[in-house]
């Protein structure tokens, strides 16, 4: 009796790459990791799941949450909390910080590069399983404002090193708009901030229409629109103390970022982030030379209290997150990412014959001990076949152990076709 054969097919929203694409993805993530660590951020990794009730407490995400249950779990088994796949890394960070509070050194600087899961409708740049690359700094009771300036500096360096064209980070401070709205006695400030935050997407006319729906008068709308379109921070007259504080904070942050190239960071008061989660500095990031990427690739901001649901401590913080998989998918699908080798190996060690397998294996191991990535060919086949294998995988060098007793080791550069004698204990790729 034959087994049924299922035709393999991709699972919508759950990307997988061929080796040559995955290699580039790994290189990008390695670069981002190096940048994060160069600023002193330490890596943590949290479980893929959190308690469902905790995740739901964030609000308006029920439809996106994947619940995790054992297939044969008894219906009346209440011994385990209901678990769900985390949809971002904020809730895990909050729980982690509270749980390990007594063991962490504050300000706590951490980065995470993990997969998250959201039940969204799959499309280009929108997936159900994807990587986020987050950095956050958490303080106790207070957090120096210079960390608000460090975030864009780190992100600019991380993205600029990917060679994806010009990066522009837009920075604002929610206190500015909220202070203005408070001075005008606007009741539903959250609705107004969400309307303003859509300026890039729906334009001035669209925002004005939304503000009319939000109940603002013509004079109030004019005042709001004048503020959010202001380019000169020094020309703004604060309406109250909150607005004054926000302006001073934003000017400080911008001043700290003067070392970045012109246009790399700009003040944009329309950036308010529609969530009331953020309380001060906010960021959004655009790719100026990638027309297919029309929205923010990286966003975040300052928050007053990270872990109030878990611990009776005031833990303010600031963070920013790269939507890595979204970025990578859009760039790759639109031809902005060039792939190369199908293998990470630097060298393929030729296997001359079965009698010399031990020598070939020893040679490969000697090269590995010196930090080189080495693949040993799997069978004593014709030399032409072994060379073809290396070329197909994009391996740049092939190593020839001595074919005869007393012979010399040789290495061949497949790009230049140059072949020289070499010692496996001293040779380098630059030789």
The enclosing domain of 380 has a CATH number of 3.40.50.800
Dig out the tokens for 422 from the structure. Answer: 């070499």
The dihedrals phi and psi of 336, each to the nearest 5 degrees, come to -90, -5
Which ranges of 321-395 does DSSP label H, i.e. alpha helix?
Answer: 324-333, 357-369, 383-393
Domain count, the chain: 2
- In a 10 Å sphere around its CB, with 0-12 CB exposed, 13-18 middle and 19+ buried, how is residue 82 labelled? middle
In a domain, 329, yes or no: yes
Q: What is d(CA 34, CA 21) in angstroms, rounded to the nearest whole number?
A: 20
Q: Give the end-to-end CA distance of the chain in Å, rounded to a whole number.
A: 59
Question: Which region, left, alpha or beta, applies to residue 202 given φ > 0 means left and ψ of -120 to 50 means alpha?
Answer: alpha
In a domain, 59, yes or no: no
Range of the domain at 395: 347-421
What is residue 275's predicted lDDT score, i.e. its pLDDT?
59
Q: Given 268, 301, 333, which residue is the final one in a domain?
A: 333
In a domain, 325, yes or no: yes
Q: What is d(CA 377, CA 372) in angstroms, rounded to the nearest whole number?
A: 16
Helices 146-160 and 241-256 pack at an angle, to 10 degrees, of 40
Q: How far is CA 91 from CA 12, 45, 46, 115, in A?
A: 26, 13, 10, 14
Which ranges of 5-89 does DSSP label H, i.e. alpha helix?
Answer: 19-38, 52-56
Same domain, yes or no, for 324 and 354?
no
Same domain, yes or no, for 127 and 247?
yes
Closest Cα to residue 181, out of 148, 213, 224? 224
Q: Given 333, 363, 393, which residue is the final one in a domain?
A: 333
In a domain, 383, yes or no: yes
Q: Given 306, 333, 360, which residue is the final one in a domain?
A: 333
In a domain, 149, yes or no: yes
Dig out the tokens for 351 from the structure. Answer: 């296997």
Same domain, yes or no, for 220 and 356?
no
Query: In which element (H, E) is residue 84 found?
Result: strand 83-85
Same domain, yes or no, for 305 and 182?
yes
Same domain, yes or no, for 276 and 400?
no
Same domain, yes or no, for 392 and 291?
no
Same domain, yes or no, for 218 and 145?
yes
Partnered with residue 374 across adjacent β-strands are 347
Strand residues in 255-341 grouped as ranges (E): 265-267, 281-287, 298-303, 317-322
In a domain, 72, yes or no: no
Same domain, yes or no, for 284 and 206?
yes
**How many residues in total does the chain contain?**
431
Q: What is d(CA 100, CA 104) in angstroms, rounded to the nearest whole number?
A: 6
Which CATH number fits the domain that encloses residue 262?
A: 3.30.930.10
In a domain, 4, yes or no: no
Q: What is the pLDDT along the chain (431 residues), one digit of tens a residue?
A: 567 888 888 888 888 999 999 999 999 999 999 999 999 999 999 999 998 888 877 655 677 888 887 777 666 666 567 889 998 898 899 999 999 999 999 999 999 999 999 888 887 778 899 999 999 999 999 999 999 999 999 999 999 999 999 999 999 999 999 999 999 988 888 888 888 888 888 888 888 888 888 888 898 889 889 998 888 898 898 989 999 999 999 999 999 999 999 999 999 998 987 556 789 999 999 999 998 888 889 999 999 888 888 899 999 999 999 999 999 999 999 999 999 999 999 999 999 888 899 999 999 999 999 999 999 999 999 999 999 999 999 999 999 999 887 889 999 999 999 999 999 999 998 86
Q: How far is CA 76 from CA 338, 375, 412, in A?
A: 53, 53, 67
Same domain, yes or no, for 326 and 357?
no
In a domain, 1, yes or no: no
What is residue 203's predicted lDDT score, i.e. its pLDDT?
86
Buried residues in 163-174 as b, exposed as e (16+ CB within 10 A): ebeebebbbbbb
Helices 189-196 and 174-183 pack at an angle, to 10 degrees, of 130
Same domain, yes or no, for 291 and 351?
no
Q: What is d(CA 357, CA 381) in angstroms, rounded to the nearest whole number?
A: 12
Same domain, yes or no, for 124 and 242?
yes
What is residue 60's predicted lDDT score, i.e. its pLDDT?
58
Q: What is the DSSP letter of 76?
A: T
Same domain, yes or no, for 317 and 365?
no
Q: What is d(CA 317, CA 309) in angstroms, rounded to the nearest whole number?
A: 15
């Amino acid at each position: 009796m034959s087994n049924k054969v299922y035709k393999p097919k991709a699972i919508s929203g759950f990307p997988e790459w061929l080796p040559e694409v995955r290699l580039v993805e790994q290189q990008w993530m390695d670069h981002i990791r190096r940048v994060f660590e160069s600023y002193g951020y330490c890596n943590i990794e949290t479980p893929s799941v959190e308690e469902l009730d905790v995740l739901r407490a964030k609000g308006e995400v029920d439809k996106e949450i994947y619940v995790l249950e054992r297939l044969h779990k008894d219906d009346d088994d209440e011994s385990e909390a209901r678990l769900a796949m985390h949809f971002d890394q904020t809730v895990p960070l909050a729980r982690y910080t509270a749980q390990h509070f007594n063991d962490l050194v504050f300000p706590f600087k951490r980065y995470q590069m993990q997969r998250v899961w959201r039940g969204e409708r799959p499309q280009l740049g929108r997936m159900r399983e994807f990587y986020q690359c987050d950095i956050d700094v958490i303080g106790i009771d207070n957090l120096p404002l210079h960390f608000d300036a460090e975030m864009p500096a780190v992100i600019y360096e991380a993205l600029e090193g990917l060679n994806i064209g010009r990066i522009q980070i837009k920075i604002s401070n929610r206190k500015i708009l909220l202070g203005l709205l408070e001075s005008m006695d606007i009741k539903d400030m959250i609705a107004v901030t969400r309307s303003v935050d859509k300026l890039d997407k729906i334009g001035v006319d669209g925002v004005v229409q939304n503000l009319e729906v939000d109940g603002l008068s013509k004079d109030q709308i004019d005042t709001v629109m004048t503020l959010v379109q202001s380019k000169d921070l020094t020309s703004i007259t604060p309406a109250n103390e909150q607005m004054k504080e926000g302006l001073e904070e934003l000017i400080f942050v911008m001043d700290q970022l003067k070392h970045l190239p012109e246009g790399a960071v700009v003040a944009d008061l329309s950036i308010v982030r529609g969530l009331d989660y953020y309380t001060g500095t906010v960021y959004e990031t655009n790719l100026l030379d990638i027309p297919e990427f029309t929205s923010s690739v990286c966003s975040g901001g300052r928050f007053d209290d990270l872990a109030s649901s878990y611990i009776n401590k005031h833990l303010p913080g600031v963070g920013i997150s790269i939507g890595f998989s979204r970025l990578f998918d859009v760039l790759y699908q639109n031809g902005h990412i060039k792939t190369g080798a199908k293998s990470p190996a630097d060298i393929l060690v030729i296997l001359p014959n079965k009698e010399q397998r031990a020598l070939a294996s020893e040679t490969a191991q000697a090269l590995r001990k010196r930090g080189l990535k080495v693949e040993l060919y799997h069978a004593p086949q014709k030399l032409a076949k072994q060379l073809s294998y290396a070329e197909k995988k994009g391996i740049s060098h092939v190593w020839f152990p001595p074919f005869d007793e007393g012979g010399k080791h040789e290495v061949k550069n497949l790009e230049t076709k140059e072949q020289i004698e070499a010692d496996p204990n001293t040779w380098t790729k630059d030789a």
